[in-house]
Amino acid sequence: MTTPPNTMRLKSFDLATQDIASVDVEALHALSLGVEWPHRPGDWDALRALGHGFVALDEIGRVFSSAMWFPHGEDCATIGMVITSPRLQTHGGGRWMMDRILQQCGDRRLILNSTRAAYRLYVSLGFEPQATVYQCQGYATPDAAPVAGLADAVEAIAPTDLGEVAALDGAAFGAPRPLLMAHLAPTAEIRGLRRDGRLVGYGMRRPFGRGVVIGPVVAESEAEAVTLVAALLAGLDGQFVRLDTRQETGALRTFLEAAGLRLFDTVRTLTRGGALPKVEPGRPGVYGLAAHALS
Ligand SMILES: CC(C)(COP(=O)(O)OP(=O)(O)OC[C@H]1O[C@@H](n2cnc3c(N)ncnc32)[C@H](O)[C@@H]1OP(=O)(O)O)[C@@H](O)C(=O)NCCC(=O)NCCS
């Protein structure tokens, strides 16, 4: 009998796209686990309820790729959950999925948060770098103290009372996100910060991945952002907490470090069709992201 060869080329297979709403959430969970992302099935479902997207399936229904977009008003969208299964990467699947997503997004202004692996792909599609996102996470420690003097101005906001929150969020984000607010609120603790009767900051905390995520956080200064985050950390001692911010240094990062939320990784925010609103003292700014996919 002849010796079988040591190598062989397996027959390649075809992939076809399908609406992401149509597949079993466990297949999506397996896809994101395969690239070591922390999303639970519930996180995927929450994103699917908010946005649109595709998966790429082989002939027997295995999911090899995903990509999603999330409209924020008529003129803006965020892109996320762009994944190719490791064994099919660098074969053009990511670009194929992105082309389909971009076609659906039309001429909306686009925002996404890019990993290192995806950076070249997005730049080649016309996206421009805007800022670094610092993913801070860890087990919350009990002794981080809020900024003295501001804590009294923090109030709990009911998940049904989102009018002012949505207006403030839209001013900071640069596009209206009332649907996102309404979607996050039922599972969130929400805190607001009021100055002279006016809501000047808000923050949410909600279950995500391994524990709790704090975000979005909108404020008019770092001190106010710290106060909101401190209020949202109350009662979370010893729990795994994550917050993504574009603040490179300063009071918020120092506070997060003291509270046990250390820098874990970075991604880069890229936009197409318009710059990211600046975070400056004295005007509403995004100090904590809602999620990578939602910015
Ligand atoms: C990023 C990702 C989706 C790309 O998918 P893909 O199917 O490999 O993409 P493509 O084969 O279409 O490649 C697109 C471009 O990216 C480049 N690229 C792909 N993987 C890369 C890597 N790990 N490092 C650097 N460049 C890479 C390719 O060379 C190609 O560039 P080119 O067209 O100039 O040659 C995939 O690597 C992935 O799922 N990574 C893990 C999850 C992730 O980071 N998702 C991105 C979220 S923002």
Q: What is the CATH number of the domain that holds 86?
A: 3.40.630.30
Residues 156, 259, single domain; the answer is yes
pLDDT for 139 beyond 70: yes
Using one digit for the tens of pLDDT, what is the confidence trace for 204-235? 999 998 899 999 999 999 999 999 999 999 99
In-domain check, residue 11: no
pLDDT for 149 beyond 80: no
**Ligand 1 mean position to 48 CA, how many Å?**
23
Residues 84, 185, single domain; the answer is no
In-domain check, residue 215: yes
Please indicate whether residue 151 or residue 105 has the higher confidence score (pLDDT): 105
pLDDT for 146 beyond 70: no
In-domain check, residue 8: no
Encode the chain in three state secondary structure: CCCCCCCCCCCCCCCEEEEHHHCCHHHHHHHHHHCCCCCCHHHHHHHHHHCEEEEEECCCCCEEEEEEEEEECCCEEEEEEEEECHHHCCCCHHHHHHHHHHHHHCCCEEEEEECHHHHHHHHHCCCEEEEEEEEEEEECCCCCCCCCCCHHHEEEECCCCCHHHHHHHHHHHCCCCHHHHHHHHHHCEEEEEEECCEEEEEEEEEEECCEEEEEEEEECCHHHHHHHHHHHHCCCCCCEEEEEECCCCCHHHHHHHHCCCEEEEEEEEEEECCCCCCCCCCCCEEEECCCCCCC
Average pLDDT (175-192) is: 96
In-domain check, residue 122: no
Cα–Cα distance for residue pair 98/17, rounded to 1 Å:
12
> Which residue's CA is the nearest one to ligand 1's atom 42?
83
- Please identify, among 71, 91, 107, the residue that sits at the C-terminal boundary of a domain: 107
Residues 159, 233, single domain; the answer is yes
Average pLDDT (161-176) is: 97
**Ligand 1 mean position to 117 CA, how many Å?**
5
CATH number at 190 reads 3.40.630.90
Cα–Cα distance for residue pair 288/291, rounded to 1 Å:
9
> Which residue's CA is the nearest one to ligand 1's atom 32?
121
Helices 251-258 and 222-233 sit at what angle, rounded to 10 degrees? 20
pLDDT for 258 beyond 80: yes
Residues 36, 171, single domain; the answer is no
Average pLDDT (170-177) is: 98
**Ligand 1 mean position to 209 CA, how many Å?**
24
**Ligand 1 mean position to 91 CA, how many Å?**
9
User: Residue 2: what pLDDT?
Assistant: 87
At residue 145 the predicted structure's pLDDT band, cuts being 50, 70 and 90, is: low
Cα–Cα distance for residue pair 122/94, rounded to 1 Å:
10
Question: Which CA distances in Å does 142 have to 145, 175, 230, 231, 239?
Answer: 9, 36, 10, 12, 10
> Which residue's CA is the nearest one to ligand 1's atom 35?
90
Answer yes or no: are the C-beta atoms of 271 and 109 closer than 8 Å.
yes
In-domain check, residue 182: yes
Residues 155, 273, single domain; the answer is yes
What percentage of the chain exceeds 70 in pLDDT? 98
- Please identify, among 107, 122, 145, the residue that sits at the C-terminal boundary of a domain: 107
User: Residue 147: what pLDDT?
Assistant: 64
**Ligand 1 mean position to 121 CA, how many Å?**
6
Q: What total number of domains does the chain contain?
A: 2
Task: Say if residue 281 is preceded by a cis peptide, omega within 30 of 0.
Answer: no
Residues 228, 178, single domain; the answer is yes
Average pLDDT (86-109) is: 96
Residues 275, 139, single domain; the answer is yes
Residues 195, 266, single domain; the answer is yes
Residues 151, 30, single domain; the answer is no
From the alpha carbon of 118, which atom of ligand 1 is closest? Answer: 1
Residues 236, 164, single domain; the answer is yes
> Which residue's CA is the nearest one to ligand 1's atom 22?
117
**Ligand 1 mean position to 39 CA, how many Å?**
20
Answer yes or no: are the C-beta atoms of 271 and 242 closer than 8 Å.
no
Please tell me the total number of residues recorded for the chain in this structure.
Answer: 295
In-domain check, residue 205: yes
Q: Which residues contact 146 (CB under 8 A, 6 or more apart)?
A: 226, 227, 230, 231
Residues 141, 92, single domain; the answer is no
**Ligand 1 mean position to 160 CA, how many Å?**
41
Domain encompassing residue 231: 135-288
- Please identify, among 91, 107, 123, the residue that sits at the C-terminal boundary of a domain: 107
Question: Which CA distances in Å does 114 have to 93, 131, 241?
Answer: 16, 10, 22
Q: What is the dihedral of CA 287, 214, 266, 145, to 10 degrees?
A: 70
In-domain check, residue 184: yes
Cα–Cα distance for residue pair 235/140, rounded to 1 Å:
9
> Which residue's CA is the nearest one to ligand 1's atom 27?
117
In-domain check, residue 10: no
Residues 143, 274, single domain; the answer is yes
Give the residues surrounding ligand 1 with Cβ less than 6 Å away.
35, 82-84, 89-95, 114-115, 117-118, 120-121, 124
